[in-house]
């Protein structure tokens, strides 16, 4: 068993980086250097952690790096961290998106506040992923709102104020349900054991409750996570927020923060309330499938590249929800993998769109045409990311979608059949979007577009490498995810999850 | 027949005596000193007196730890953990408010010690309310508190709004007091006593066949309290009074009146009428829903920041009531925790409003806050933290305050109520955030800078420090609040 200090360092390092960046803000560009160094160190640390991670710690199920300290006993508040195969790659993703966001936002190197917020956001997100306590998770989950709000509200597009408020208030209202639900669950547990109030994951998982209670709690949890994820029909804040946010903000929001929703659904809704699964599964599966089709349809007709990716994210997160809720092991592993892959792919998309915006100050599809001529490398990079998103065999998107669909087909065939349409639609809207932006003859400003510069190529390189490597050789990742998913399924299995 | 003089345990009375004594001393000094008493002297006396009262609460606390709670002066005054913590909060708020008022008075050219005399007296009244174990003593405290405040609200004589607000507050407040005392009379009629312990004992050992009189009395008491804490639908005075009163007074009111009135309300409902829980709970339920939702929604449409904070404070009152609704020790502890963390934040928030308000104390449009945090990152950033704390963002005490009362409510079976109030908080989040956004707006970078005098800066810093330190590490304060209600009145 490894020390929980590793995870504490992962949480604290970005906060210290943010503090240091603000201290040196008077020296032009110094804050950016601090942030860049911090992000690289953070990523390196997460990679070390993922190599060290040991899923055979005795008595900790598949968790490692376990540590718990009670902070305020009357509140049942504790600092409790642990990492398993499900959260491991989300932590890596958080650090990776941070690196991409910071290096991709070189034009903001004179704005110390911007990089500081990014660092804080990463810290809070990692905190949510490693939180092994429901209340602690909730606190980190809520905390992520503050930096993301400021990032969107201060550095976003024309409608940034509206987008940021809508984002915040939607999520905040969604959290109200989660908050009430978690309090209820905590007290239910306390009344059963007669001990101190606690929200520790392992303790709450042992709470016994009636089917009705479980369903109500599941609904409360699911609403909060559905807003964050987003799951249709609670997604309406997301296209505006993704489109109005600055590039780095869109990357964080859809690449990373959206995963908090699906992660929460898997870890806390499914993990703590297995009794409700039989009732809630058809509902969420249906919503997921509707989200896939609806997102794909809107992605096809939206006039804006950022919104296209936003709607495509809605569809992709529909696949994740599908995988999480089917209860089949293969599909759940696929869902966890897709969370990571989608994060990388979306970050890549928003980076490239950011590059285009930098050149043309517009992401409206109608303004862009024939960019392939003046910017062939940019087009090639976009193609790789796009093909991965479509699910071309040999690239990362394929592996995860394939796992989800075969897993889902075995247990919930009809939903899987309809969801498969989404794969076809993804090809349709992405290729069509690509045609409109990159094909044809570039005229006017479009012909003057410069190709990807060297720094830009270097920023996007990790995305391309990951997309290819995980497409060809996903085994090391799958090996780490599978035991934890297996563990989760065994825990919820008595309540009727098919294996 | 011999007259027995009740025994007096002076330790219980020391904070009241200090505050009231300081008030009287200043009053006499102004009469004796040739010319006008310097306002610095008055401020120093106020701050020292409130700090002394604050320190005494520690002595009281250690005494309590050893001897347990007790009553004195014929059971009319209580010395228990709850009153001690509430007293400490009042003393701290008074010290902070006095410092803000000092800078304000200097800027406005107001000399003299009147503000401090009145503030000290009202604080003594508020402390008396937290210690009262008798409806008559509560009334006494309430009147001492209110009458001083009527004058304080009218303090800025040159502004018509100030006088108007004072008149409004006075007329409506007198009605509320009358209703309260009528309620006390009816409760006396129903139970044969005004002493809270006796009422509780009577109701616990007798079954009222015709409880109408008690219900009528209890309802009137509740109306009186609801007026003081500005719970909807008895809130109509508060936006006008908050807006009209001089800004430092508003901050002081928002903190001290709430602490005093809530402490007394909790004692009456939990201690005296605890047996009637099933009767008053549904009424509180409706009050809470109305208070949180109306407070949050009406705050949204305000342009004047003082009115905005008035509605915000109505919203907070709904949350504090949530802990009362729970009717448990956990609930009372949660309300106490809420009050203890809310008071410094609200005084510090109004301190910022006082500064931005400018010389005429009239720059209270939200537009005056445009870009404040860009021009003055420290002041603006601190104010943003205070607003986020009021919103209930994690890592501030605001989060744990809301957490505590919601947890207490859920624990007592109030899941739906908790959900409704939380949605109210989501509405409130809207206007706090809009305000924060205004602070960081990047136009009007060349607007005039707000001068920040040292004392006010210290108050704002203290408010921020309290909200951050106990927001990150709420353990000690939470244990204190919990411990305080374990030591609840006998």
Each residue's pLDDT tens digit, B120-139: 999 999 999 999 999 999 99
B425 close contact with A: CB closer than 8 A? yes
Of B395, B419, B482, the CB nearest to A180: B419
What does pLDDT average to over chain B?
89
Predicted pLDDT at B31? 85
Considering only CB atoms, which chain B residues are within 8 Å of A150?
Answer: 440
Cis, bond preceding B121 (omega within 30 deg of 0): no
- Return the closest-CA partner of residue A361 out of A371, A350, A353: A353
For residue A477, give both structure tokens: 């990742």
The residue written with tokens 């550095």 in the block is: A155
Q: Which residue has the higher pLDDT, B360 or A192?
A: A192
Residue B200 predicted with pLDDT over 60: yes
Distance of residue A211 Cα from the nearest chain B Cα, in angstroms: 17
Put simply, the answer to whether B481 touches A74 (Cβ < 8 Å) is: yes
In this prediction the pTM is 0.90
- What are B291's strand-pairing partners? none
Q: Please indicate if any CB of chain B lies within 8 Å of the CB of A201.
A: no
Q: Which residues of B touch A177 (CB under 8 A)?
A: 419
B256-280 tens-digit pLDDT: 999 999 999 999 998 888 888 888 9
Residues A57-113 have pLDDT tens digits of: 777 778 888 888 888 888 888 888 888 888 999 999 999 999 988 888 777 777 888
For A321-339, the pLDDT digits (tens) are 999 888 888 899 999 999 9
B332-365 pLDDT per residue, tens: 989 999 999 999 999 999 999 999 988 877 888 8
- Spatial distance between the Cα atoms of B301 and B298, rounded to a whole number of angstroms: 6
Q: How confident is the model at residue B486 (pLDDT cuts 50, 70, 90)?
A: low
In a domain, B132, yes or no: yes
Domain coverage including residue B422: 10-486
Q: Which of A268-282, B121-135, B206-220 has the highest mean pLDDT?
A: B121-135
Contacts of B203 (CB under 8 A, 6+ apart): B191, B214, B272, B273, B275, B276
Q: Does B113 score more than 90 pLDDT?
A: no
pLDDT digits (tens, 9 = 90+) for A45-54: 999 988 888 8
Q: Characterize the bridge pairing of strands B77-79 and B70-72.
A: antiparallel
Q: To which H or E segment does residue B479 belong?
A: helix B475-486
ipTM: 0.84
- B300 touching A, CB under 8 A? no
Alpha-carbon distance of A78 to A135, in angstroms, equals: 8
Q: What is the pLDDT of residues B185-197, one digit of tens each?
A: 999 999 999 999 8
Angle formed by the axes of helices A329-360 and A305-326, nearest 10° = 170
pLDDT of residue B292: 92
Residue B5 lies in a domain: no
Average confidence (pLDDT) over B61-83: 87
In this complex, which of B393, B440, B474 lies closest to A77 when CB atoms are compared?
B474
CA A3, chain centre distance (Å)? 26
Structure tokens at A408: 């889902």
Contacts of B293 in chain A (CB under 8 A): none
User: How many distinct structural domains can be found in chain B?
Assistant: 1
- Residues B420 and B427: their CA atoms lie apart, in Å, by 11
- The position carrying tokens 């089709």 is A293
Give me the pLDDT at residue A499, please: 38
Percent of chain B with pLDDT over 70: 99
What's the pLDDT score for residue A497?
Answer: 44
A258-262, B1-5, B80-84: least confidently modelled range: B1-5
Cβ of A176 and B425 within 8 Å?
A: yes
pLDDT tens-digit profile of A342-389?
999 999 988 888 888 888 777 787 787 877 878 888 888 888 888 888
Segment A157-180 mean pLDDT:
86
pLDDT tens, A99-143?
988 888 777 777 888 888 889 999 999 999 999 999 999 999 989
Residue A495: predicted pLDDT: 52
Tell me what the pLDDT averaged over chain A comes to. Answer: 86
The answer to whether B404 contacts A183, with C-beta atoms less than 8 Å apart, is no
A178 closest CA partner among A229, A219, A130, A231: A219
Q: Residues of B with CB below 8 A from A164's CB?
A: 433, 437
Residue B1 has a pLDDT of: 62
- Angle (nearest 5°) at CA A351 between A349 and A352: 70
% of chain A surpassing 90 pLDDT = 18
Q: Which of A75, A77, A173 sits opposite B426 (nearest CB)?
A: A173
Could A161 and B437 be called an inter-chain contact, meaning their C-beta atoms sit closer than 8 Å?
yes
Q: Does the beta carbon of B468 lie under 8 angstroms from any beta carbon of chain A?
A: no
Interface test with A, best of B426, B443, B471, B474 (most A CBs within 10 A): B426
A473 and chain B in contact, CB less than 8 A? no
pLDDT class for B166, splitting at 50, 70, 90? Answer: very high
Chain A CB within 8 Å of residue B94 CB? no
Residue B2 lies in a domain: no
Q: Which residue of B430, B434, B478 is in closest CB contact with A74?
A: B478
Among candidate residues B275, B160, B180, B279, the one with its CA nearest the CA of residue B226:
B180
Dihedrals φ, ψ of B412, to 5°?
-95, 20
> What whole-number percentage of chain A has pLDDT above 70?
99
Domain boundaries, chain A: 5-486
CB neighbour list of residue B48: distance below 8 Å, 6 or more residues apart: B22
Phi, psi of A413 (to 5 degrees): -60, -45
Q: How far apart are CA B397 and CA B403, in angstroms?
A: 10
Binned at pLDDT 50, 70 and 90, residue A498 comes out as: very low
Q: What is the pLDDT of residues A207-235, one digit of tens each?
A: 888 888 889 999 999 999 999 888 888 88
Residues A7/A101, Cβ–Cβ less than 8 Å: no
């Amino acid at each position: 068993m490894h020390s929980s200090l590793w995870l504490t360092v992962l949480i604290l390092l970005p906060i210290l980086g943010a503090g240091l960046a603000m201290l040196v803000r008077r020296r032009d560009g110094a804050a950016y250097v601090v942030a860049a160094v911090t992000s690289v160190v953070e990523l390196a640390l997460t990679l070390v952690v993922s190599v060290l991670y040991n899923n055979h710690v005795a008595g900790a199920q598949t968790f490692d790096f376990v540590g718990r300290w009670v902070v305020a006993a009357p509140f049942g508040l504790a600092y409790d961290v642990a990492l398993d195969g499900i959260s491991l790659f989300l932590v890596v993703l958080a650090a990776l998106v941070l690196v991409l966001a910071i290096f991709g936002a070189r034009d903001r190197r004179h704005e110390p506040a911007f990089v500081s917020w990014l660092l804080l956001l990463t810290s809070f997100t990692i905190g949510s992923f490693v939180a092994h306590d429901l209340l602690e998770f909730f606190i980190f989950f809520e905390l992520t709102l503050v930096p993301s709000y400021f990032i969107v509200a201060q550095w976003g597009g024309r409608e940034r104020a509206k987008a940021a408020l809508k984002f915040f208030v939607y999520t905040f209202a969604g959290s109200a349900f989660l908050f009430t639900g978690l309090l209820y669950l905590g007290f239910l547990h306390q009344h059963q054991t007669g001990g101190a109030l606690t929200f520790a994951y392992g303790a709450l998982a042992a709470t016994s409750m009636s089917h009705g209670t479980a369903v109500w709690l599941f609904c409360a949890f699911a609403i909060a996570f559905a807003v964050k994820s987003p799951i249709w029909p609670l997604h309406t804040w997301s296209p505006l927020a993704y489109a109005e946010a600055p590039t780095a903000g869109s990357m964080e929001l859809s690449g990373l923060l959206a995963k908090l929703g699906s992660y929460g659904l898997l870890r806390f809704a499914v993990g703590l309330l297995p009794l409700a699964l039989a009732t809630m599964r058809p509902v969420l599966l249906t919503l997921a499938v509707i989200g896939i089709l609806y997102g794909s349809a809107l992605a096809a007709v939206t006039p804006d590249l950022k919104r296209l990716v936003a709607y495509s994210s809605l569809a992709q997160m529909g696949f994740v929800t599908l995988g999480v809720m089917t209860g089949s092991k293969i599909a759940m592993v696929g869902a966890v993998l897709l969370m990571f892959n989608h994060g990388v792919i979306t970050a890549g998309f928003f980076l490239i769109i950011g590059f285009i915006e930098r050149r043309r100050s517009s992401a409206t599809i109608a303004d862009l045409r024939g960019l392939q001529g003046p910017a062939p490398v940019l087009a090639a990079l976009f193609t790789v990311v796009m093909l991965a998103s479509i699910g071309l065999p040999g690239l990362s998107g394929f592996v995860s979608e394939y796992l989800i669909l075969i897993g889902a087909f075995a247990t919930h065939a009809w939903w899987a059949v309809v969801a498969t349409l989404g794969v076809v639609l993804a090809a349709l809207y992405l290729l069509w979007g690509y045609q409109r932006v990159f094909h044809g003859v570039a005229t006017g400003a479009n012909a003057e577009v410069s190709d990807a510069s060297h720094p830009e190529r270097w920023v996007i390189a990790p995305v391309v490498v990951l997309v290819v490597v995980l497409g060809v050789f996903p085994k090391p990742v799958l090996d780490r995810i599978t035991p934890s998913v297996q563990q989760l399924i065994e825990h919820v299995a008595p309540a009727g999850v098919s294996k | 027949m011999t007259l027995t003089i009740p025994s007096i345990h002076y330790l219980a009375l020391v904070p009241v005596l200090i505050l009231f004594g300081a008030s009287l001393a200043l009053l006499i000094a102004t009469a004796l000193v040739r010319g006008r008493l310097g306002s610095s002297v008055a401020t120093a006396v106020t701050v020292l007196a409130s700090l002394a009262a604050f320190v005494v609460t520690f002595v009281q606390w250690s005494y309590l730890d050893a001897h347990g709670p007790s009553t004195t002066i014929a059971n009319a005054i209580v010395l228990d953990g709850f009153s001690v913590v509430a007293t400490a909060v009042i003393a701290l708020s008074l010290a902070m408010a006095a410092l803000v008022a000092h800078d304000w008075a200097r800027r406005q050219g107001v000399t003299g010690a009147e503000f401090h005399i009145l503030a000290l007296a009202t604080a003594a009244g508020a402390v008396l309310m937290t210690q009262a174990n008798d409806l008559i003593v509560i009334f006494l405290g309430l009147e001492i508190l209110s009458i001083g405040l009527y004058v304080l609200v009218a303090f800025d004589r040159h502004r018509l709004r100030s006088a108007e607000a004072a008149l409004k507050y006075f007329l409506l407040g007198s009605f509320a007091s009358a209703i309260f005392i009528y309620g006390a009379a009816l409760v006396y009629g129903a139970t044969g006593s005004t002493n809270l312990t006796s009422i509780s004992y009577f109701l616990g050992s007798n079954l009222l066949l015709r409880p109408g009189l008690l219900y009528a009395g209890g309802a009137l008491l509740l109306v009186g309290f609801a007026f003081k804490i500005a719970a909807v639908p008895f809130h109509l005075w508060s936006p006008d009074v908050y807006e009209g009163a001089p800004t430092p007074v508003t901050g002081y009111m928002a903190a001290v009146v709430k602490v005093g009135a809530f402490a007394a309300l909790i004692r009456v409902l939990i201690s005296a009428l605890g047996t009637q829980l099933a009767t008053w709970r549904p009424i509180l339920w409706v009050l809470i829903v109305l208070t949180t939702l109306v407070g949050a929604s009406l705050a949204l449409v305000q342009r004047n920041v003082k009115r905005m904070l008035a509605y915000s404070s109505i919203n907070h009152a709904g949350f504090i009531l949530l802990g009362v609704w729970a009717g448990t020790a956990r609930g009372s502890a949660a309300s106490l925790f809420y009050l203890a963390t809310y008071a410094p934040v609200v005084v510090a928030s109004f301190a910022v409003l006082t500064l931005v308000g400018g010389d005429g104390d009239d720059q209270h449009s939200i537009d005056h806050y445009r870009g404040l945090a860009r021009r003055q990152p420290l002041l603006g950033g601190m104010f943003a933290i205070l607003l986020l704390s009021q919103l209930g963002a994690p890592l501030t005490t605001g989060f744990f305050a809301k957490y505590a009362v919601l947890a207490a409510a859920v624990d007592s079976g109030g899941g739906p109520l908790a959900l409704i109030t939380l949605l109210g908080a989501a509405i409130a989040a809207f206007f706090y955030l809009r305000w924060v956004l205004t602070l960081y707006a990047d136009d009007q970078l060349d607007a005039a800078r707000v001068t920040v005098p040292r004392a006010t800066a210290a108050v704002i810093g203290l408010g921020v420090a309290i909200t951050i330190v106990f927001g990150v590490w709420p353990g000690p304060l939470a244990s204190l609040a919990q411990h305080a209600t374990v030591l609840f009145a006998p």
